[in-house]
Structure 1
Amino acid sequence: MLLRKLGLRAILGLAVINSPSVFGQSVVDASTLTGKFVLGYQAWHACGGDGKTLSGYIHWSHLNRVEPSPSDVVCDIWPDITELPANELFPAAFTNGNGQATSAYSCYLTNTVLRHFRWMRDYGLDGVALQRFTKDVFIDSTWAALKNTNLVNCRLGAETYGRVFFLMYDISNEDPTIVTNHLQSDWAYVAGTLQITNSSRYLKHRGKPLLGIWGLGFNGGLAVTPANAQTIIDYFKGAGCTVLGGVPANWRTLNGDSQTNAGWASVYHSFSVLSPWTVGRYTTDAQADGYKSTITADLADCQANGIDFLPVVFPGYSSHNLSGFTLNGIPRNGGRFFWRQIYNALSAGCPALYGAMFDEIDEGTALYKLSPTSSTTPVAYPTNQYQFFALDVDGYSLPSDWYLRVSTDGTLATHGKPLNEWLPITPTNTITVLSPNGGNFWTSGVPATVTWSTTGLVSYVNIDISTDGGATFRALAYNATNSGSKVVNVPYTASTNCLVRIGSTNGTPVAWSQTNFTIRVSGTNANIDLQQLWSMAPGTNSWLPNDTGNTARGLAYNAASNEVYTINTSIFAVNVLDGTTGTNKPGLQTFGISGGNFILDKIGVADDGIIYAGNVQTSVSSSSPFKLYRWANSNPAIAPVLAYSGLAGFASGLRVGDTLAVRGAGTNTQVLVGARTVSTVCLLTTADGTNFTAHTLNTDATPEQLGSCLAFGLGNCFWATTNGLPIARLNFDPISLVATTAQSFGASVLPPNCGAFAVDPANSLMAAIILTGAADQLNLYDLSATNSGPVLLSSWGIPGLNDNNFGLGAVAFGGNRLYALDTNNGLLAFRVTFPGGPTPLSANRSGTNVWLAWAASARGFYLQQRGSFTNGSTWQSVFDPVSIAGNQFVVTQQVANVAGFYRLEKP
């Protein structure tokens, strides 16, 4: 069993524990393994004087069943025995660090086992897989009596406290010549004489009693042939069982810890449930993360072959006193190592988990109550041959029941409650959601109040909402003061499956609504939302590095060709991606481009599909000009053309080119270019659609306001911000070249820590990257309520966790698509979804002018035209500017005095 019971499986995910009894289920469903968090249970500890016929101590010392002492002990961590009465405690020849005598316990005593199951009930755990070693059962009658008492006690505990249990035979130390006879004989006794499977608490799966067999197929383990192994499995199937196999981690690849004979493949695939043993297969959080790809592949293989998958998770490992291995060889890291495994398995889609183990102190994987400090831990003096550790070994001050608490969250997550990526609880700080906490009704677009309580030190919180039962979350408030109450804007998403999540801004603790509440929709913007197309984490591509180098900066979307363009300032290239799939396409030609401290930085696309990209000059001058290049399309054979070169209306010595915005088509194309530390903006216009002239817009903004991001709004306006300053909307006069601030939105409306953003004028939307202390977020806002300011509609987390304190990157709208590049942290792609069906379009002609109008409440529509009503004529986009008149969108188009046909299309 060495390195078999080195694993423990538990799942973390949801609530913060204030009182363990709050989470106890009265009775756990015993009809299926699916959705369960089961723990391995040894129940093998026994003591001299506990009443059994077999003399001495079991699993406390190495030799001759002697009392554990500084001269002979097998466990590295001691259980917390403070709750046990004197009649359940037995001598151990140790003194604790506090000078008190050390005691041991025995699972031969019914009351001790019942206490273990009461803990499972109190902490909301589902139940156990009781380990039964057939070799021990058949040593002699005294051993058989001990093991049978363990089994009967387990059954009584499960029945008393409403938990589930099932039997798992461990045959790893068996004699291969008689293992089959031992199994068949013992099962006849267990299922026949004891009728253990008739218990209402015995776990069924696929309509039959679940029976585990641990130890087949291990390299260096039980030496049976594939044919012998198949005989064992077939016997239990014939006996009416659903058979679970505890198998090697490399069962699928037949290498490493697995037998390599090809015949084992069919043996493994004959199990109804597979549970690969992963204890010791990885030792750090990073290695556990790397193992997730194996879990994913194992799960896919099982699903393809009609097998259920039960991965193993464990809190840590230490078998120094048992086997001479390193003390605390696989550190628990305060529960974080355990949590990474739980998160990885559940996020990969695994339907259940196995925790190794509830009570195995021999190899340091126990999850029950453990000695928290050295003062309650035995001292190995005077021999110092053996060593111990306590729960605080890794520098965390933890209560003795800490891993039961973590297992509570794991159980809730396995049951389908929200799964947090990071350990959601702390030993001393807690958060409890008070409202909404189930049964509440919110109305979209109407402010609502979230309330909560905390204990310990929680200074600031993030408040998120899920409208899909916890599968995804979006931000409601970031870095809110821990006042216990916060008014938030309710998103425009109708759902009866809503949850609120409140978490400390430093990651833990985290708490959720205990049950779902409802959002009712109202207004014209109901259900405007984001549907994710794809995402790229940092490190996915060379131009999207996983670092803090601040090099991935440029992003644009071309709706005409459905292409995304990106620029990394350290790579002289323009990358092209398919807008729908994110797959790479041939890049733009860059031959002939020169100049700039960054040769290319920002990129934009005009409404007619023309592509523009500019450099950055850190000290612009006539000899070091800002340059703007133009591509007619993305054909790799098309060379770029210099569209502008000069000071862009700025004084020499300024940094120019960090901001770029493009709109219009043909001779109506306009480009905004910004500079650092000045209150002016460059407006580039063109008379021929190819060459541009610079005009200086004088603004009333502060010098820093215009340096990080610019975006055109509807009509003659633009939006601007610098990280840390409010986003502002400015109206400009293209004749007088004066821009004045129309609105500025403080922290009560928009987070001040805003990075890159973009505006979709036609649909009155804005998207902004919100920089946080953890994962940054992309927020979608409704701009239609011009008086009250932006209203949050949707929020998504960005993949990376790197620093982007300069607020670099870019956001791009187009054709009901949205793309967001958060420098150092990844790229997200979405389809923007709008409610409603077709909307009426009116058209009126006066000479060569055509006026087209439709309701401003109709979002997501784009105007198209063609010259013939027949199907043979192709619909073309209308690039003329859109304005608002009253409650209508209006386009004025100059056309020849011929027939024309128009329509509104929703991509």
Structure 2
Amino acid sequence: MLLSAVILTAVGCKKTQESEDVVHDSFSQAKQVVALASPPGDVVGKLVVGYQAWFGCLGDGSPFNSWKTWGPNPPSPGHINVEMWPDVREYTTTYQTGFANLGNGQPAKLFTSYSQQVVNTHFLWMRQNGIDCAALQRFGSALAADPRDLNWRNGNVPMVKAAAETYGRKFFIEYDISGWTNFQSEIKTDWTTRMQTHTSSTAYAKQNGKPVVSLWGIGVSGRPGNNAVWTDVINWFKTQGCYVIIGVKRDWRNDATNMSAYNQANMIQPWTVGSMNGIAGANNYVSTLSADFAYCNSHNQDYQPVAFPGFAWSNWHTGAQNEIPRLHGDFLWRQFYNIRNNNIPSVKVAMFDEYNEGTAIAKAAENASMKPSNQYFLTLDADGVACSSDFYLRLTRDGAKMIKGQIPLTANHPTSHQ
């Protein structure tokens, strides 16, 4: 999912331990009286990650069997679409790029998402780090445009299903309607003829006893449809027995034209990636966060805010390197803190494997020794603190615990950087 970044000023913000304890006590009491639309299930009261699963490599045996999403054939200096270089040490098969060796002398190789071993590894990381559920992205505009894309997406779902079943995680289909001109009819056909069958899996996410489906781009600028179309599609999925999440723009409550469509959804998920910067930016969003949650509660809807670790896409599009800094975990933690401090029980982290926009929490290059020596990539030590490749997975684990009330509310993350 792509949105331009908006840069805001970052300043520090700290609380004393005494005030944190007071806030924690208040949270514990308030949590007992907040009336939520739904009880805890596979998405309410859980931490969900967006899962792209869109990377391909030449020779991987996929429907494309060529470089996909990483960059051109082959990815090489100046020809790369990702901001971060992944840590590939746990994948059994990787593929040679056109880059020079990594700083540590190892060959510059990448992974394919069209691999059961890779998907298994990702879901193992999810289990190890308390990630409850993955929203598997399904980009509708490509399904009819290129049969290879349709076959890729259709073939990838069973891999995700198998991995989720193996590692005790949940997953659900998240449709992205960007550029999908005929989505009103085609999404219904795709669901009934291809995707609905996967809901029989024990790993397919259910909320209120209903299979979950997400529609991203409802009311978002530049996405197809209008109030009547979005209302029709949301309600159609509800007639299919689904629990419907909609991904909407950050300021959705100011959109009176489309409010009747928003009101049909079971869960509202405003998209915030790129729209805030630093601790001050995260704190400035609190009033919106609180008002969104109150609106959803008053309309018997669930609410799922989006948190992200940082943002940059200088290798893929224009923009500054390290445009929205991660602040060695402090930025993401502040978002978790604000969600918990507002008694909100659910969160989506964007994204698990989005190396393109620099939002991935999956394992990534720690420093220059783990990236190609002849190309810029954002590394996890960019903000002056050395972080292990799994730091953001572990930070997400601790954030999930805090939001669920399993550890106290704390302004400073407890996660070790190494």
Q: When the two structures are superposed, what TM-score results if normalisation uses the length of structure 2?
A: 0.89
Alpha-carbon contact 2:337-2:411 (below 8 Å) kept: yes
CA contact (8 A) 2:220 2:249 kept: yes
Give the 3-state SS of the residue equivalent to 1:159 in structure 2: helix
Aligned equivalent of 1:108 = 114
Deviations 1:287-341 (A, max 9, x none): 1111111100110000000010000000000100111111110000000000000
Which residue is 1:359 aligned to? Answer: 353
Q: Is the 8 A contact 2:322 2:378 kept in 1?
A: yes
Alignment of 1:531-546 (within 5 A): none
2:308 to 314, 327, 335: 314
1:208 maps to 2:232: no
Separation in 2, partners of 1:203, 1:77: 30
What is the distance in 1 between the residues matched to 2:271 and 2:67? 28
Partner SS, residue 211 of structure 1 = strand
1:388 is matched with which residue?
377
State whether residues 374 and 389 of structure 1, in contact with CA within 8 Å, keep that contact through their aligned partners in structure 2: no
1:413 aligns with 2:402: yes
DSSP-derived class of the 1:59 partner: coil
Which residue number in structure 1 is paired with residue 85 of structure 2?
78
**Helix, strand or coil at the partner of 2:398:** helix
Matched residue type, 1:276: P
Letter in 1 for 2:317: S
Give 2:148's match in structure 1, choosing from 142, 152, 155.
Answer: 142
Of 120, 127, 134, the residue aligned with 2:133 is: 127
Partner residue in 1 for 2:238: 237
Does the Cα contact within 8 Å between 1:377 and 1:389 map onto a contact in 2? no
SS in 1 for 2:67: coil
Q: Identify the residue that residue 188 of structure 1 maps to in structure 2.
A: 192
From the superposition, tell whether residues 4 and 159 of structure 1 become closer, same or farther in structure 2 (CA, over 3 Å): farther
Q: Is the 8 A contact 1:44 1:58 kept in 2?
A: yes
Q: Show the 5 A alignment for 1:803-842.
A: none
Correspondence for 2:54: 44
The correspondence of residues 271-310 of structure 1 with structure 2, limited to 5 A, is 271-310=265-304
| Residue matched to 2:362 | 368
**3-state secondary structure, aligned to 1:380:** coil
SS across alignment from 1:38: strand
| Post-superposition CA distance 1:169-209 (Å, at most 9, x none) | 0012222xx111220111012345xx110111111112211
Gap change, CA 1:311 and 1:4, over 3 Å in 2: farther
The answer to whether the 8 A contact 1:70-1:93 is kept is yes
Partner of 2:390: 401
Match of 1:90 in 2: 95
Matches of 1:31 and 1:351 in 2, distance apart?
11
Higher-Rg structure is 1
Give structure 1 stretches of 5+ with no counterpart: 7-12, 14-28, 255-261, 382-386, 429-907
Please say if residues 5 and 274 of structure 2, whose CA atoms lie closer than 8 Å, have aligned partners that are also in contact: no
Report deviation, 1:144. 1.1
- Equivalent position of 1:501 in the other structure: none
**Which amino acid letter does the alignment assign opposite residue 44 of structure 1?**
W
CA offset digits 1:481-534 (Å, max 9, x no partner): xxxxxxxxxxxxxxxxxxxxxxxxxxxxxxxxxxxxxxxxxxxxxxxxxxxxxx
Q: Is the 8 A contact 2:270 2:304 kept in 1?
A: yes
Could you tell me how far apart the structure 2 residues matched to 1:151 and 1:290 are?
38
Q: Deviations over 1:144-175 (max 9, x none)?
A: 11111111111111001000111110012222
The alignment-based identity, stated in percent, is 38
- Cα deviation per residue 1:655-680 (whole Å; 9 max; x = unaligned)? xxxxxxxxxxxxxxxxxxxxxxxxxx
1:223 and 1:140, CA in 2 relative to 1: closer, same or farther beyond 3 A?
closer
Q: 1:378 Cα shift? A: 1.6
Matched letter for residue 198 of structure 1: S
Match of 1:3 in 2: 3
**Contact (CA 8 Å) 2:268, 2:301: kept in 1 or not?**
yes
Structure with the bigger percentage of strand: 1
Q: Equivalences for 1:651-670 in 2 at 5 Å?
A: none
What is the DSSP-based 3-state SS (H/G/I as helix, E as strand, rest coil) of the residue aligned with 1:289?
Answer: helix
Task: Supply the distance in 1 between the matched residues of 2:47 and 2:380 (Cα, whole angstroms).
Answer: 23
Is it true that 1:167 corresponds to 2:169 in the alignment?
no
Mapped partners of 2:5, 2:57: distance in 1: 21
CA distance 1:5–1:131, shift in 2 (3 Å): farther
Verify the 8 A CA contact 1:30 1:202 in the aligned structure 2: no
- C-alpha change, 1:151 and 1:66, in structure 2 (3 Å) is same
1:199 is matched by which residue type in structure 2? S
Q: Which residue of 2 aligns with 1:724?
A: none
2:312/2:324 contact within 8 Å kept: yes
Q: CA deviation at 1:89?
A: 0.3
- In the alignment, residue 196 of structure 1 is paired with which amino acid? H
What is the CA–CA distance in structure 1 between the aligned matches of 2:374 and 2:276, rounded to whole Å?
A: 30
What are the ranges of 5 or more consecutive residues in structure 2 without an aligned counterpart?
7-19, 21-38
Over residues 206-256 of structure 1, what are the superposed CA-to-partner deviations in whole Å (9 max), with x where a residue is unaligned? 22111100001112x2132211111111111111101100000000012xx
Which of 62, 67, 75 lines up with 1:57 in the alignment? Answer: 67
Report the CA distance between 1:409 and its aligned residue.
0.3
User: Residues of 2 paired with 1:142 and 1:240: CA distance?
Assistant: 30
What is the rounded CA distance, in whole Å, between the counterparts of 2:65 and 2:144 in structure 1?
17
1:808-867 Cα distance to aligned partner (Å, 9 max, x none): xxxxxxxxxxxxxxxxxxxxxxxxxxxxxxxxxxxxxxxxxxxxxxxxxxxxxxxxxxxx
Partner AA of 2:264 in structure 1: S
The 2-side partners of 1:129 and 1:379 are apart by: 34
Q: What's the offset of the Cα at 1:30? A: 9.5
Take 2:187 and 2:112, find their aligned partners in 1: how far apart are those partners? 26
Question: What's the CA shift string for 1:783-832, capped at 9, x where partnerless?
Answer: xxxxxxxxxxxxxxxxxxxxxxxxxxxxxxxxxxxxxxxxxxxxxxxxxx
Aligned residues: 385
Q: Secondary structure at the residue paired with 1:252?
A: helix
Q: Which letter maps to 2:215?
A: I
Q: Distance in 2 between matches of 1:309 and 1:235?
A: 21
- 1:5–1:360 Cα contact (<8 Å) kept: no
TM-score, scaled to structure 1: 0.41
| Rounded Cα–Cα distance in structure 2 between residues aligned with 1:113 and 1:263 | 41
1:249 counterpart SS class: coil
CA contact (8 A) 1:134 1:186 kept: no
1 CA distance for matches of 2:311 and 2:211?
31
Tell me whether 1:423 sits opposite 2:417 in the alignment.
Answer: no
Structure with more of its chain in helix, by fraction: 2
TM superposition shift of 1:267 = 1.0
Superposed displacement of residue 137, structure 1 = 1.8
Helix, strand or coil for the counterpart of 2:178? coil
Q: Which amino acid aligns with 1:209?
A: P
Q: Which residue of 1 aligns with 2:220?
A: 218
Runs of 4+ in 1 over 3 A off after TM superposition: 29-32
CA shift, 1:31, in A, is 4.1
Within-5 A mapping of 1:579-728: none
Q: Using a 3 Å threshold, how does the CA distance of structure 1 residues 79 and 5 change in structure 2: closer, same or farther? A: farther
Instruction: Give the 3 Å change call, closer, same or farther, for CA 148–142 of structure 1 in structure 2.
Output: same
| Matched-pair contact (CA < 8 Å) for 1:41–1:359 | yes
